[in-house]
Amino acid sequence: MNKEFIKETITKDGKVDIGKAAVFISMLESKNREIFVKEYIEELGLKVVITEVAGSGRDLKKKIINSCVGAALNIDVIDKEAHHVHGLIHAAQEAGRGLMLDMPLDANLHIKIAIVRSEHWISVAMYGNSAYHILSNHSRLGLGYVNI
Q: For the chain, what percent of residues have pLDDT higher than 70?
A: 95
Q: Please state whether beta strands 121-131 and 108-117 pair in parallel, antiparallel, or not at all (unpaired).
A: antiparallel
User: Using 50, 70 and 90 to split pLDDT, how confident is the model at 1?
Assistant: confident
Which DSSP state fits 2? -
Question: Looking at the domain covering 3-147, what would its CATH class be?
Answer: alpha beta
pLDDT at 104 exceeding the cut of 70? no
- Which DSSP string corresponds to 95-142? HHHHHHTT--TT-EEEEEEEEEE-SSEEEEEEEEEEESSGGG-EEEEE
pLDDT at 42 exceeding the cut of 70? yes
Q: Mean of the pLDDT values across residues 23-34?
A: 96
User: Using 50, 70 and 90 to split pLDDT, how confident is the model at 59?
Assistant: confident
pLDDT at 101 exceeding the cut of 80? no
Domain residue extents for the chain: 3-147
